[in-house]
């Protein structure tokens, strides 16, 4: 049977991904901030592929957050992006981030099966039931109540999986989709369904992720606080095997003084207006991603560098030893992998590969690239 997504299933004990490179980044006006340009993405994908990094996971934004930085305003559509990068790489898995409420499942199934053929079974789906209300209004949509978003996403994913596994036409009579004579050939590469990732964090969203996903993309305050939650998620997913990953933000330099200098530069050049707009957008009504008004008001009272660089993600700012220690903490807590954000991926990932990955290998969390590929 054709192997799917080599490295994501089996392979290293602790897996590594790169997150969000298809978008222009940075809530800062630093000249080093990431452009999100296509040629840079190709170079990054090849670098990550050669380094044995397991996956690339994109964002999907439809407009930026305004201000001088207008973060995420330049965003490459993620299915087309995945197709292009799958054609440029050999081993790495590449996900597309898909908003279920914006893309009809019959159309999406065909697009994603095609992407999977381009990558010979290295495609994956990061399924997002909803997003920011302001973006959805560009499509003439209002985001439904939270529970309804996940109910619709469940039907969407049920239709997708049935298309991918059916040899004959079928009808689907759901609340959100009423479809007749549905068929979608070819199915995915090797006739095996691509893995699905979901970042549901609310009780309803987490239930959806545990019930459906292969990779639960879960947020982390501290590794130790996540331990019991991860354990419970994996038990609830039985008999399926659920991996739990987390997004992280990394700044790694040879000395702590260099790290602090870079963090200070990020804060000094911060686009605080964009920071505030980004967080205020999470107060949008009707089930969009939400934070309390108190949380938004407190953003500047928290660690400023984390607000500018890491956004909501667990932040690891330090020397290679510190970064490796923190990744080991995440592994000890039960995380199967992380997807990392850098201020500038092409400038910073080579040092991470050179200095941090060997430290993880010495801890037994990863194996040299040649050993992993020989085993798979």
Q: What is the pLDDT along the chain (376 residues), one digit of tens a residue?
A: 457 898 999 899 999 999 999 998 766 777 888 888 999 999 999 999 999 999 999 988 767 666 666 666 578 999 999 999 999 999 999 999 999 989 999 999 999 999 999 999 999 999 998 767 777 778 787 766 555 889 999 999 999 999 999 999 999 999 999 999 999 999 999 999 999 999 998 899 999 999 999 999 998 889 999 999 999 999 999 999 999 999 999 999 999 999 999 888 888 887 776 666 666 654 443 333 444 444 444 344 335 556 556 566 899 999 999 999 999 999 999 999 999 999 999 999 999 999 999 999 999 999 998 655 555 5
pLDDT of residue 205: 92
Nearest to 270 by CA among 313, 312, 299, 307: 307
Q: Are 78 and 58 in contact (CB under 8 A)?
A: yes
The sign of the torsion formed by the CA atoms of 224, 229, 234, 238 equals positive
pLDDT of residue 58: 96
Residue 359: which residues within 8 A CB-CB, separation 6 or more? Answer: 320, 321, 324
CATH number at residue 342: 3.20.20.30
Distance between CA atoms of residues 10 and 7, nearest Å: 6
Query: Would 7 be classed as within a structural domain?
Result: no
Residue 290: which residues within 8 A CB-CB, separation 6 or more? Answer: 282, 283, 284
Query: Would 2 be classed as within a structural domain?
Result: no
Residue 260: which residues within 8 A CB-CB, separation 6 or more? Answer: none
Q: Omega before 48 cis (within 30°)?
A: no
Query: Would 45 be classed as within a structural domain?
Result: yes
Q: Are 28 and 71 in contact (CB under 8 A)?
A: no
The count of structural domains within the chain is 1
Structural domain span for residue 84: 15-375
Dihedral (Cα; 50, 55, 56, 60), 10-degree rounding: 170
Query: Would 163 be classed as within a structural domain?
Result: yes
Query: Would 5 be classed as within a structural domain?
Result: no
Q: What is the pTM of this model?
A: 0.88
Q: Are 249 and 222 in contact (CB under 8 A)?
A: no
Q: Are 168 and 183 in contact (CB under 8 A)?
A: yes
pLDDT of residue 109: 98
The distance in angstroms from the start CA to the end CA of the chain is 13
Query: Would 9 be classed as within a structural domain?
Result: no
Q: Omega before 287 cis (within 30°)?
A: no
Distance between CA atoms of residues 306 and 299, nearest Å: 10
H or E stretch including 186?
A: none
Residue 299: count other Cβ atoms within 10 Å of its Cβ: 18
Query: Would 144 be classed as within a structural domain?
Result: yes
pLDDT of residue 82: 98
């Amino acid at each position: 049977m054709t192997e799917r997504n080599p490295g994501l299933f089996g392979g290293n004990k602790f897996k590594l991904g790169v997150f969000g490179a298809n978008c222009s980044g940075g809530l800062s006006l630093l000249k080093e901030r990431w452009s999100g340009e296509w040629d840079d993405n190709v170079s990054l994908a090849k670098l990550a592929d050669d380094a044995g990094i397991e996956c690339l996971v994109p964002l999907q934004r439809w407009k930026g957050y305004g201000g001088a930085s207008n973060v995420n305003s330049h965003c490459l559509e993620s299915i087309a992006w995945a197709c292009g990068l799958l054609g440029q790489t050999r081993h790495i898995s590449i996900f597309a981030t898909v908003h279920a409420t914006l893309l009809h499942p019959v159309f999406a199934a065909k697009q994603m099966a095609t992407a999977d053929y381009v990558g010979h079974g290295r495609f994956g789906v990061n399924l997002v039931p909803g997003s920011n209300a302001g973006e959805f209004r560009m499509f003439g949509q209002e985001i439904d109540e939270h529970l309804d978003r996940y109910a619709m996403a469940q039907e969407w994913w049920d239709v997708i999986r049935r298309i991918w596994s059916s040899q004959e036409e079928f009808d689907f009579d759901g609340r959100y989709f009423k479809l007749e004579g549905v068929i979608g050939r070819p199915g995915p590469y090797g006739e095996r369904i691509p893995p699905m990732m979901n970042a549901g964090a609310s009780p309803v969203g987490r239930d959806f992720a545990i019930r459906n996903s292969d990779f639960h993309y879960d947020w982390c305050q501290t590794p130790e606080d996540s331990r019991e939650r991860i354990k419970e998620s994996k038990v609830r997913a039985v008999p399926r095997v659920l991996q739990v990953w987390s997004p992280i933000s990394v700044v790694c330099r040879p000395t702590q003084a260099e790290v602090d200098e870079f963090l200070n530069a990020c804060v000094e050049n911060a686009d605080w207006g964009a920071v505030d707009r980004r967080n205020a957008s999470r107060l949008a009504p009707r089930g969009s991603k939400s934070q309390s008004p108190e949380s938004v008001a407190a953003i500047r009272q928290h660690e400023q560098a984390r607000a500018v660089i890491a956004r909501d993600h667990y932040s690891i700012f330090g020397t290679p030893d510190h970064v490796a220690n923190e990744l080991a903490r995440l592994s000890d807590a039960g995380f199967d992998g992380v997807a990392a954000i850098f201020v500038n991926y092409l400038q910073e990932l080579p040092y991470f590969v050179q200095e941090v990955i060997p430290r993880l290998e010495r801890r037994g969390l990863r194996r040299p690239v040649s050993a992993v590929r020989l085993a798979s």
